[in-house]
């Protein structure tokens, strides 16, 4: 079963991390990432650039409307994701819990995938 | 430890919003700063026990406001301060404050806080010091060290700058669109100064000033979140990111500046470059070009070249031509001539540069570049004269050393012929 772990956090807070703090968190996450990858349970992983770099295409009208900024103005922003291949929700939550210990603050949305094209073919 | 780091990041990120809201409320910078400080102390006590609040800025504004009001009351009546636990159950109150902190309001609050640091009577270094102290919360010690002055001297400067700012009476009413645009432009220019104080530093200063550039980038991202559709704000953030991406390659072991052409490009920060390029693309869509956007686009052309000889000089020439058109300046023409030299040779570049001599007679780069062009053309005697003037104008040992290398080359290649 494929799950997405969608990472939400206040980007203002994440942007205020010191370099040491950032490197420390990334180092801890990297260890977990490598272990899950070795177990063959890991799909693509991405960390997104700040929402200020985002552009939104509103396609509920014709022609679509292009807007600067993220789709939703929220207190916590969508900052990245992991795709994992696990047996069940418990295992997915276990991985999410572990990632959360390495990177406290914010929230993970753990959500099953409906369709998955791993390499875009 | 992890918790302390998290709290520190939350306090840092909430600071501009919290101080600017407290400033609107109390209309006094010192009171606002003290209230914020006090709120931070309480946060350090309360957050580890009760967990972090959902909205740190709203929490700090609420607590800071109550603390300052209590102090005012206490001064009047000598009544006791409330116990901490009276402030502990903040959830409802906090969300209520957060409700009222609608986007528009807090956008103008932060803009005002940044704008008061741009007072035109303040010399640029004082604008920078004030912004770093008030908005970013750097310590006086950090700022003093970066500007190579004593702590008490910097403290005095900041106090005087604050008095200046208070006397200026920046209005607290919501600004109209024209005034808002003017404030935004002034604030952007001030943040670019903060950035450059960090970016242009070399040698021993560079370590102490690096946080300036990072702070300017953080505040620019904040500004862009508040004004998400302003192409010049996108352009300036992009410019800062594309320049700062080169920081790891810009200084040699002794802290001297390495020229763009000689930098090890594999050290450039790819993530910053990606963000900068994305912002240039976003800004260009608006078709309202401005100086920051064009300079960012030029930095973007350099960033895209994996090796110096892959640089698209034709694009750079075109971009400088546009910049010359909207913001005529001899320095821009000089920069454009560098691209022209690469594209059409030294002769064409020299023809562009020579008419600038009167205006740029005190400019190191003018004579350095003119000498280099003359050297390419084999006019060594004139080249030597230009290099000598450049050395006389050099602002640092590394600039002078760089020109001396050219002179040495001249001597090697043409010296004998000249002598004979």
Domain ranges of chain B: 2-100, 102-168+176-227, 229-300
Query: A16 to chain B: which residues are within 8 Å by CB?
Result: 9-10, 12-13, 218
Q: Tell me the CA end-to-end span of chain B in Å, nearest whole number.
A: 73
Estimate to the nearest angstrom the gap between the alpha carbon of B166 and the chain centroid. 24
Query: A52 to chain B: which residues are within 8 Å by CB?
Result: 221, 224-225, 228, 234, 237, 279
Angle, alpha carbons B171-B131-A53 (nearest 5°) = 95
* Residue A21 belongs to some domain of the structure: yes
CA dist B164 and B158 (Å) reads 10
The answer to whether the CB atoms of B9 and A13 lie below 8 A apart is yes
Q: Which of B201, B225, B230, B228 is nearest to B214 (CA)?
A: B201
Q: Which of A56, A5, A52 is nearest to B279 (CA)?
A: A52
- Low-confidence residues of chain A: pLDDT under 50: none
Tens-level pLDDT at each residue, chain B (420 residues): 467 788 888 899 999 999 999 998 898 899 999 999 999 999 999 998 888 788 889 999 999 999 988 887 877 765 555 555 445 455 555 555 554 555 557 888 999 999 999 988 888 888 999 999 999 999 999 899 888 889 999 999 999 999 988 888 888 888 889 989 999 999 999 999 999 988 877 776 777 888 899 999 999 999 999 999 999 999 999 999 999 999 999 988 887 888 899 999 999 999 999 999 999 999 999 999 999 999 999 999 999 999 999 999 999 999 999 999 999 999 999 999 999 999 999 999 999 999 999 999 999 999 999 999 999 999 999 999 999 999 999 877 778 888 998 899 888 876 555 543
The answer to whether the CB atoms of B55 and A17 lie below 8 A apart is no
* Residue A119 belongs to some domain of the structure: no
Q: Which domain holds residue A51?
A: 2-112
Q: Is B6 on the interface with A (CB under 8 A)?
A: yes
* Residue A43 belongs to some domain of the structure: yes
SS3 at position A66: strand
Nearest chain B residue to A105, by CA: B6
The alpha-carbon gap from B393 to the nearest alpha carbon of chain A, in Å, equals 37
Tokens of B346: 């030294």
The alpha-carbon gap from B359 to the nearest alpha carbon of chain A, in Å, equals 39
The answer to whether the CB atoms of B9 and A104 lie below 8 A apart is no
Interface of A with B in 16-75 (CB under 8 A): 16-18, 21, 49-53, 55, 66, 68-69, 73, 75
The answer to whether the CB atoms of B218 and A68 lie below 8 A apart is no
The answer to whether the CB atoms of A52 and B218 lie below 8 A apart is no
Estimate to the nearest angstrom the gap between the alpha carbon of A86 and the chain centroid. 17
Q: How many residues in total does chain B contain?
A: 420
Integer CA distances (angstroms), B176 to A106, B108, B180, B182, in order: 36, 10, 6, 10
* Residue A57 belongs to some domain of the structure: yes
CATH of the domain at A57: 3.30.70.1060
* Residue A118 belongs to some domain of the structure: no
Domain count, chain A: 1
The answer to whether the CB atoms of B237 and A18 lie below 8 A apart is no
* Residue A67 belongs to some domain of the structure: yes
Task: Report yes or no for ipTM above 0.85.
Answer: yes
* Residue A79 belongs to some domain of the structure: yes
Q: Please, which residues bridge with residue B300 across strands?
A: none
């Amino acid at each position: 079963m494929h799950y997405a772990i969608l990472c939400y956090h206040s980007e203002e807070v994440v942007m205020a991390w010191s370099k040491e703090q950032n490197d420390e968190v990334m180092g801890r996450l990297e260890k977990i990432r490598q272990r899950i990858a070795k177990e063959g349970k890991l799909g693509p992983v991405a960390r997104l650039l700040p929402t200020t770099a985002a552009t939104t295409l509103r396609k509920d009208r014709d022609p679509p409307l292009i807007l600067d900024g993220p789709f939703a103005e929220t207190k916590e922003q969508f900052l990245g994701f992991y795709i994992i291949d696990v047996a069940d929700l418990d295992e997915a939550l276990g991985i999410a819990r572990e990632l959360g210990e390495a990177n406290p603050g914010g929230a993970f949305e753990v959500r099953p995938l409906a369709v998955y094209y791993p390499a875009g073919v | 430890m992890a918790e302390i780091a998290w709290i520190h990041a939350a306090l840092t990120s909430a600071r501009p919003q919290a101080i600017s809201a407290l400033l609107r409320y109390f209309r006094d910078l010192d009171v606002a700063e003290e209230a914020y400080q006090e709120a931070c102390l309480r946060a350090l006590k309360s957050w580890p026990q009760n967990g972090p609040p959902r909205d740190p800025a709203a929490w700090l504004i609420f607590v800071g406001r109550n603390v300052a009001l209590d102090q005012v009351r206490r001064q009047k009546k000598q009544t006791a301060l409330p116990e901490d636990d009276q402030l502990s159950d903040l959830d409802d109150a906090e969300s209520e404050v957060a409700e009222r902190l609608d986007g528009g309001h807090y956008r103008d609050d932060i803009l005002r806080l940044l704008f008061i640091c741009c007072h035109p009577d303040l010399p640029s270094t004082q604008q920078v010091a004030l912004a770093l102290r008030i908005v970013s919360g750097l310590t006086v010690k950090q700022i003093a060290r970066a500007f190579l002055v004593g702590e008490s001297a910097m403290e005095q400067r900041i106090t005087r700058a604050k008095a200046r700012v208070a006397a200026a009476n920046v209005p607290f009413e919501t600004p109209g669109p024209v005034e808002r645009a003017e404030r935004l432009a002034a604030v952007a220019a001030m943040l670019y100064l903060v950035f450059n104080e960090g970016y242009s530093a070399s040698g021993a200063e560079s370590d102490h000033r690096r946080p300036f550039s990072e702070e300017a980038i953080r505040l620019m991202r904040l500004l862009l979140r508040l004004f998400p559709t302003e192409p010049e704000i996108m352009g300036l953030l992009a410019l800062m990111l594309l320049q700062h991406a080169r920081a790891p390659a810009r200084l040699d072991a002794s802290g001297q500046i390495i020229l763009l052409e000689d930098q090890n490009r594999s050290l450039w920060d790819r993530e910053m470059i990606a963000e900068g390029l994305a912002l240039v693309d976003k800004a260009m869509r608006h078709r309202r070009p401005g100086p920051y956007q064009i300079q960012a686009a030029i930095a973007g052309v350099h960033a895209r070249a994996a090796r110096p000889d892959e640089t698209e000089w034709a694009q750079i020439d075109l971009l400088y031509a546009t910049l010359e058109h909207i913001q005529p300046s001899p320095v821009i023409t000089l920069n454009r001539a560098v691209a022209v030299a690469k594209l059409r040779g030294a002769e064409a570049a020299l023809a562009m540069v020579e008419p600038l001599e009167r205006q740029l007679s005190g400019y190191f780069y003018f004579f350095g570049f003119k000498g280099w062009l003359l050297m390419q053309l084999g006019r060594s005697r004139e080249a030597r004269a230009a290099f000598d003037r450049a050395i006389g104008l050099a602002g640092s040992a590394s600039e002078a050393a760089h020109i001396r290398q050219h002179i040495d080359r001249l001597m090697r290649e043409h010296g004998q012929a000249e002598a004979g």
